[in-house]
Chain A
Amino acid sequence: MLFTDTQSQTRRTLTATGRLLRRLHLDGPLLAALAAVVAFGLFVLYSATGENVGQWLNQLERLALALAALVALAQVPPPWLRRISPLLYGIGIVLLVAVAVHGSVGNGAQRWLDLKIVRFQPSEIMKLAVPMMCAWYLHERPLPPSLRDVLVVLILILVPSLLIAKQPDLGTALLVASAGILVLFLAGMSALVIVLGVTAIGAAVPVAWHFMHDYQRQRVLTFIDPSTDPLGAGYHSIQSQIAIGSGGIFGKGWMNGSQAQLEFLPERSTDFIFAVIGEELGLLGQTFLIVLYLIVIGRALYMASEAQNTYARLVCGSFALTFFVYVFVNTGMVSGILPVVGVPLPLVSYGGTAMVTLLASFGVLMSLNRHRKLVGA
């Protein structure tokens, strides 16, 4: 009897949690997967900052803010989100121009807008605004998009991307552009156009090279052969591969990675934190995290496919795949199969507004998905 009692009690508890989640328009599995990633990230970050409790608490603070943004955005009714998309995009463009005119210089690049109260990185808004704007534009139109629509959307993508690339922040520009292009891809842009586009990009490489900053060129060059500049631009890549490779299958143990703890590994708590995981927790730790990421992406894609209208589908799908782009570009860069581009490891890297933006995007995703039944009713 006792056994049955306990079982029913458990079921009741679960149902209560489920009810709460439903009332808050939150998706349980996705939230659980995100929580797992975040927890793993906090665990690693403590070691990667060199036991810097202050930084760790900062991260926790930002996490709370990001979580609040997630929950808050999840409450917004989907039609509102769609309606404010052009407004958000417009504000984003204005702010980007403002930064270009007079932004404060942080980390050697002009990215921040100082609003006295908060220092603010407008390019982060664009990570949400660009796919939302693209989806807004395509929402009413028949899909797959016509060539004219594709060109309009491409312009919507290129303007903010170029403004961000000019700051210069190649990583964010890449993420913003890919978020928009993923919308086009999900909208069913024909394979022919994609092939043509890729060819055009190929042709544009020499042109892009011409406009690149020296540090960007150097990164491309040292990506091709890091050993040409072992103490300069190739240093990041070499030290990161040493860290990962020396970790082996099981790693050197949490807080015992010599590359990370003795600071041979640059940007160990930010862009290169994946190398710290490889060094201290080994192949197993890295694979574990990648599997968690796959669960997040898979769940988000599933939710996107369940979404009820074009706007919701496109935005959700784009957010899910942009999250993948983060993961792939960062892990690819840290493990030496992609050039060094300033893209953080999502939800794990220390700092930045990236954490807030990412969880905000998942808030939007949940809103678009979990209001379905209400809309249906």
Chain B
Amino acid sequence: MRRAVRIKDHWGEQRLFTGRTLFAGIATALLLMVVIGRLFVLQVMRHEYYADLSQGNRVRLEPLPPDRGLIYDSNGTVIAENTPAYQLELTPEQVPDVPDTLQRLAAIGMIDADQVPALTRLVRGGRKFEAIPLRLSLSDADMASFSVHQYTFPGVEIQTRLARWYPFGNEGVHALGYVAAISEDDLQHIDRDQYAGSALIGKIGLESAYEAQLHGTAGHRQVLVNAQGRRVERLGTTPVHLETLPPRAGNDIFLGLDMRVQHVAEEALAGKRGAVVAIQPETGDIVALASVPTYDPNKFTRGISSREYAVLRDDIDRPLFNRALRGTYPPGSTIKPMMALAGLEYAVIDPNASRPCHGYYTLPGSTHHYRDWKKEGHGSVDMRHAIATSCDVYFYGLAEILGIDRVHDSLATLGFGKATGVDVGGERAGLLPSQAWKMQTYKQQWYPGDTVIVGIGQGYLLVTPIQLAHAAAVIAARGRSFQPRLVTAIRDAVTGRVAKLPPVAETPLELKDPGMWDIVVQGMEMVTEAGGTAVAATRGAPYRIAAKTGTAQVFSIGQNEKYNASQVSERLRDHALFIAFAPADAPKLAIAVLVENGGHGGSVAAPIARRIFDAYLLGKYDVDTPAPPPALPATPPPAPAPSPAVTEH
């Protein structure tokens, strides 16, 4: 009933409504003021912050990889260059069915079937619009066969990019090294920004050692991207100012290496396992650095397959092993001129005095016979003849007189027992023993017998071919010593200016009487003369060669056993060594040759050195030139070897 009593009060309702409307109007204005206040906070007070975020949103840095520097040999021939390579790329967003496409690519042989799962993951993990390389290098045949099928593969294309190319293939690979895809390990110690757009990095050899010079400096360009990360050309109506920092190409490097000589060296070593290092004594420049067997670095730059790599890695002849820098061998008799120098340096022996050789040597108070390679002995020999005929007894005695520590110190001055510092990485130090070393390593004292056999390059002493070549160069330069090096000049990529690098001089080896150098050099010259151990290989040369042969024992033979090459496994035969420099009176080139299990230094290693000298000094690069006719064996047949000593010619 009460509700029926209530009647509409029109004026009251109007007043009520007007009041509410006024209230609502004020509230409306206040709330919109709150919004404007919020906008003020965003746009005025925090403007900088949001402006930065907005800038970061729209601009991305796109890396511009630099062109890698080239490598030239001493004749200005390019031996490492950048050439276009064709790669197969897939752009996911253009491919209707990725797994199916990959399967079909495998079916026509464009990719390995067993790579399909990995590639599928790679494609899935990438951005939809960025091309993903499926295969790094395509042969002409691959390109042709893909072209036929291309229309059935939307989103799969062949693209060109710059890749490293070594026109000489295998030749010089142990000096050059190679570049290959950047690995997880590499990423740990490189500046990632500098490699942002690069696929390849120097892995070994000069490519690795001179990475900083060759790589250059990466540039970048700012690109405008939209929210999907896709590159866009413009923003609204106005073109956007974007900065570009061009990349700086890597510097070119010039080597002392002469690829013609290198070719001769590798040809001469072909079919063997061994190494050659040839050095200019006046500068330390390496003219040839070979280690055989070799491999093709181009396989690595174009993405070596795990199968191909396994073949190289598991090869019993170890083609990947750099014998010239990392192989350590007993020097055998090639150490004898250095021993003679030690004797002269410390003036413990009169080089002109003859010492008797009865075919063996005994230490005082011992009955052990240290045998000479020549059973009947050399009679009576002075230093020159001891070198020329490689008399073991003379050098047993000399070593004993010097004592191991003086031997150690003198050989150390010639660069043994430590890396030569050649400008390519991975070099081994070899082993130069001393009393302290033996105590530290074996907790044993040094015995006089240990010293005696070091005198003929056996025992604990181990050297690398490059150390031998370096020592030969020091003798050739009569004590002046230069650090071996491959790179002689660097061309700045921007200015084009070629900076010649001065030779790196080392502490010279000084004899008390400089005239004594002649004695050692004469002894080494006599090696190539009648009665010397390398006469056959050097016969007919129009220049004089100073040399020393060596035959280093790999296998120990008992005191009364005979060494018979035919009965010893090929891998246990003696290493053949040879050091030489020529012309003897004004040396231009010093060489060390090592042939693993090659047998005799004079007959196996010396002819290799001869061909290199002919190439370098006479320009006889034609390796097909018949070698000098084999002379009558000027060297005696293998002699019984004393244990644990050596046989020698």
Contact = CB atoms under 8 A, between A and B. Distances in A.
Interface string B164-205: 000000000000000000000000000000000000000000
Contact of B35 (A298, A301, A331): A331
Interface in A226-261: 239, 241-249, 253-259, 261
Contact of B237 (A186, A255, A327, A332): A255
A362 interface: no
A188 B17 CA distance: 7
B369 interface: no
A321 B28 contact: yes
Interface string B44-60: 10110111011101100
A335 B35 contact: yes
A98 interface: no
Contacts of A331: 32, 35
A290 to B, nearest CB: 5
A317 interface: yes
Contact of B50 (A188, A244, A253, A305): A244
A237 to B, nearest CB: 12
B149 interface: no
A304 interface: yes
Contacts of A286: 36, 39
Contacts of A248: 43-44, 47, 51
A136 interface: no
Interface string B85-128: 00000000000000000000000000000000000000000000
B42 A241 contact: yes
Interface in A186-203: 186-188
B224 interface: yes
A301 B24 contact: yes
A248 B47 CA distance: 6
A241 B237 CA distance: 23
A255 B236 contact: yes
A337 B21 contact: no
A264 B58 contact: yes
A332 B38 CA distance: 9
B25 interface: yes
A144 B47 contact: no
Nearest to A283: B43
A254 B228 CA distance: 22
A346 interface: no
Contact of B228 (A263, A282, A293, A298): A263
A262 B57 contact: yes
A331 B12 CA distance: 36
Contacts of A259: 54, 57-58
A261 B54 CA distance: 12
B53 to A, nearest CB: 5
Interface string A32-73: 000000000000000100000000000000000000000000
A137 interface: no
Interface in B47-87: 47, 49-51, 53-55, 57-58
B6 A142 contact: yes
A186 B20 contact: yes
B1 interface: no
A293 B32 contact: yes
Contacts of B224: 258, 262
B3 to A, nearest CB: 7
The main secondary structure of chain B at its interface with chain A is: helix
Nearest to B56: A242
A305 B49 contact: no
Interface residues of B, number: 48
A287 B53 contact: no
Contact of B227 (A144, A182, A262, A332): A262
Contacts of A263: 226-228
A30 to B, nearest CB: 15
User: Which among A144, A258, A317 has the greatest number of chain B C-beta atoms within 10 A?
Assistant: A258
A88 interface: no
Nearest to B57: A264
Contacts of A187: 17
Given A146-B3, A286-B39, A317-B24, A262 B50 contact: no
Contact of A186 (B21, B44, B47): B21
A178 B214 CA distance: 72
Given A257-B236, A293-B32, A305 B40 contact: no
A271 to B, nearest CB: 16
Nearest to A321: B24
A143 interface: yes
Contact of A262 (B8, B47, B232, B238): B232
A324 B28 contact: yes
Nearest to A317: B21
Given A262-B227, A337-B35, A245 B50 contact: yes
A42 to B, nearest CB: 17
Contacts of B238: 253, 256
B50 A335 contact: no
Contacts of B228: 263
A370 interface: no
Given A293-B32, A305-B17, A278 B42 contact: yes
Given A143-B16, A324-B28, A258 B42 contact: no
Nearest to B2: A146
A317 B29 contact: no
A123 interface: no
Nearest to A140: B8
A248 B46 CA distance: 9
A157 to B, nearest CB: 18
A327 B35 CA distance: 10
A253 B43 CA distance: 14
A358 interface: no
Given A143-B12, A246-B55, A263-B227, 12 more contacts: A142-B8, A185-B20, A186-B20, A246-B53, A254-B236, A258-B55, A258-B58, A262-B232, A264-B54, A282-B43, A286-B39, A304-B21
- Closest 5 pairs (CB-CB, A-B): A245-B50, A246-B54, A255-B236, A262-B226, A258-B58
27 contacts: A141-B8, A142-B6, A142-B7, A142-B9, A188-B20, A242-B57, A245-B54, A246-B55, A248-B47, A249-B47, A256-B236, A257-B236, A258-B224, A258-B235, A259-B57, A261-B235, A262-B227, A264-B58, A283-B39, A297-B25, A310-B8, A310-B13, A314-B17, A317-B17, A328-B35, A336-B42, A337-B35
